[in-house]
Amino acid sequence: MLVAGEAPARLGALIESAGVIPSLSGFQNVMIRAIALGASDPKASAAKALASVGLEEAGRKAARKYSLGMTQRLGIALALVGSPDVLLLDEPFNGLDPEGVRRIRALLTRAAQEHGCSVLISSHVLDQLDRMVERWGIIREGKLVYEIASEEVRAQCTDYLCVKSPQPARALAVLQRELPALRCTMMPDDSIRLLDPVGSEEVGRLLLEANVPVSGLFVHACDIEDFFIGLMGGEAPVRVERDEMTMEA
């Protein structure tokens, strides 16, 4: 049975801010955590956790003298004590410089892949999450409302060639006949989405020769931010539409 404020030894967490004692050194803060978890060698456990986040030297300084980024690293070190099976991290990249972000990202990836630790991250830094996560979840008003695999997200965010025509069925038939290896999909708005690399000039030429009118032909780029804003119900900004051209047969 858990008492309020306690956490199981196999669970590490960093929620909102690191719970440190400012007057103690970083090393002392982590060692207290190791002692509380019953580590056989608290000093060794503390040293290992600090080294993993790059605070070997700074561990001797009082926590009150730490910068925001150093405090964040200390919080992650506290969460790592005892080699937990589950890590719950809230905005772990907050306050970190690029080198620190890379180090923590590699650390968390290694914990998951090499040590079987389940890492759950709550963050708005989508570009960093995209480099490491295997599955995404969207939380709205405190509830998990959507889950999607990282492979699906990348597929949705792939650039594609968009063809618009007042005769979409004819346009699709021509493209499927002339470019059989091409993956093309008719979208709900009757535009045609071409996923495979193909030049807009070639597509335009084929349709023009087949007397199929084309009202729009452009490359559409959608980034991960657009994708998730759309899932949240917001209006994603129009990102990039290049090589735009209009033709009439």
26-36 and 42-52 helices, crossing angle to 10°: 130
Contact 132, 105 (CB under 8 A): yes
Those residues whose C-beta lies under 8 Å from the C-beta of residue 116, and which sit 6 or more positions away, are 85
- The matching CATH number, chosen from 1.20.1250, 3.30.160, 1.10.1660, 3.30.70, for 156-247 is 3.30.70
Distance CA 246, CA 248 (A): 7
13-17 contacts, C-beta under 8 A, 24 or more apart: 13/79, 13/87, 13/88, 13/89, 14/72, 14/75, 14/76, 14/78, 14/79, 14/88, 14/89, 14/90, 14/92, 15/88, 15/90, 16/90, 17/71, 17/75
* Mean confidence (pLDDT) of the chain: 82
Q: What is the pLDDT of residues 61-109, one digit of tens each?
A: 999 999 999 999 999 999 999 888 999 999 999 888 889 899 999 999 9
Q: Is the pLDDT of residue 23 over 90?
A: yes
CATH (residue range 11-133): 3.40.50.300
pLDDT given for residue 205 in this prediction: 86
Looking at the DSSP bridge assignments, the partners of residue 216 are 164
For the stretch 43-57, pLDDT in tens is 999 999 999 999 988
Q: What is the largest CA-CA distance in the chain?
A: 80
Burial per residue of 102-137, b for 16 or more beta-carbon CB atoms within 10 angstroms, e otherwise: ebbbebbeebbeeeebebebeeeebebbeebbeebe
pTM for this predicted structure? 0.66
Check if 11-133 and 156-247 are the same fold: no
Each residue of 162-207: pLDDT tens digit?
889 999 899 989 888 888 877 788 887 888 888 766 677 888 888 8
For the chain, domain boundaries: 11-133, 156-247
